[in-house]
Structure formats: structure tokens, C-alpha cells
Amino acid sequence: MRIVIIGDVVGRSGRDAVAKYLPQVRERLRQDYTILNGDNAAHGFGITGKICAEFYEMGIDCITAGNHVWDQREILAYINNDSRLLRPLNYPPGTQGNGFRLETLADGRKILIVHVVGRIFMEPLDDPFAVVTDLVRKHPLGVGIHAIVVDFHGEATSEKVAFAHYVDGKVSCVVGTHTHIPTADAQILEKGTAYLTDLGMTGDYDSVIGMQKHTPVQRFVRKVPGERMTPAGGEGTFCGALIVTDDRTGLAKGIEPIRLGPRIQEAWPKI
């Protein structure tokens, strides 16, 4: 299976970059399934139902969120009616929405998308290691499930790496989101799970992780709260990765980054 996952979309610049580059990605990479992290899609904070609909119209199959999932109040009522929008699985039982999606493709292959948020330097939610272990025990890779993708939305690189090693061989891939900076460590782990610490953001890189530069810079310099941060409005860069899996085992055959647009070095997968 060929799976594209797109890193954190930040504001209008990020949404425009998805609209601009996704058709090129689909034409060139011929993916079977497309996942997008939309945690910052609505003016930098959360996502709305209208934006979800726009992404689905573009060809996105599933949207993950993150620590900003509840920033737009309308999502509290919306998320129960949209099974393609995932909040982190490790919210307490009874929380609105779903933390995973099991989908059958037109050709009969099944993919499981799982979304968790880290606990280091983040809100102390339930243990992501435990909840994913329980889920994949119920839906084992290679036993009717052709691919399992985990979006680990976390601040600490060590937590992401540790998690990936913990589930190595049990899922097809673990990709990190949240830090908005693309990392250069795409690899296949010892037991066959693909890994990348962070996909990077899809947004304007002439910024401080997607936000207009002045306010965050002044917060660091003056050490006092300032005005609310707003997304940078320049041309956006599309960041993500292509993962290729073995349909027989569900394990990874390859993972390579995708980076298209201004300011950072372009990268097209060759797998």
C-alpha cells in the first residue's frame, strides 16, 4: 500500500499549499490513501467542519488533530458526526469523537489509522503506549489489516523515538507531528516499522513555526505575554512523507519525505 501523510497544516497558507501541491503528489506518487494533520488549520488553532469538508473535497481520506483539537468550539458538537476526523486516542473514555479509524479500500485492503498525543511537555493524558498496545492487540497487523499508521503528536523527540521502538513490528509506521520542523531521520526500524520523528508543517516557513514572527520573538525577548499569535500569510510549503508497505505482512518497505514549495529544500520520494 502507498500512503501519503501530510504534516501539520497551519492557517490559510497551509491550506492553500495542500490545494496547490496535492494534485501533483497524487499524479506522481499514485498513493492509495492520504492522511492530513489539521491541528492548526483554522487560523493556527484547531479545525472546523467547513475546513474538514474542504480537505475531503481535495481528496484527503482521514484527518488527525492533536493538542489543539478543541480550540474551535464547534468541533465539540461536530466531531461525533465525522468519523474521518480523529482526536487523540488517549483522551479519557467517553470523550467525544474517535481516536482511530479502520477503513476498507475499494480493492478490499484494510488500513487502520491511529492518533495519539504525547505526554512530555504536553497535557498529561492517558498513556499512549498502553492505548495503542490495546488497540493493535484487537486489530493485529497482517491478520486482516494490511497497514497501520500512527500519527504521534508530541513535543519530545525522545518520547516519539521510544514509542516507535516499543511498537516496532506491530504497526506499519509511526510518524511524528506537532513540532512543525521536518526531521531527516526517515528509516525502517529493526522489526519493520517505518519511522520519522516529525513530518514538518505545511505552511509558511518565513515564520516562527508557522506564526508571524514579531509576536513570538517578542515573547522570548521580553518574557511577558503579548498579543495573540496569528499565522504567517506567505506562500506555504507542503511537507509530509510517503510510506510504502507490504500488503502481505503490513510492514514497511520504504519511507521518504515530501517537501514542495519555497524556502526549504525540495524532496520527492523515489520509492
Return the active site residues.
68
* Cell numbers at 215, concatenated: 509576536
DSSP one-letter code for 60:
-
For residues 118 and 151, what is the distance between their CA atoms, to the nearest angstrom? Answer: 10
Residue 16 identity (one-letter amino acid)? D
Hey, which bits of the chain come out as E strands? 2-6, 33-37, 62-64, 85-86, 100-104, 110-117, 147-153, 173-177, 187-188, 194-196, 238-245, 252-260
Beta bridge partners of 140: none
49, 61 Cβ separation under 8 angstroms = no
Say if residues 7 and 200 touch (Cβ distance below 8 Å): yes
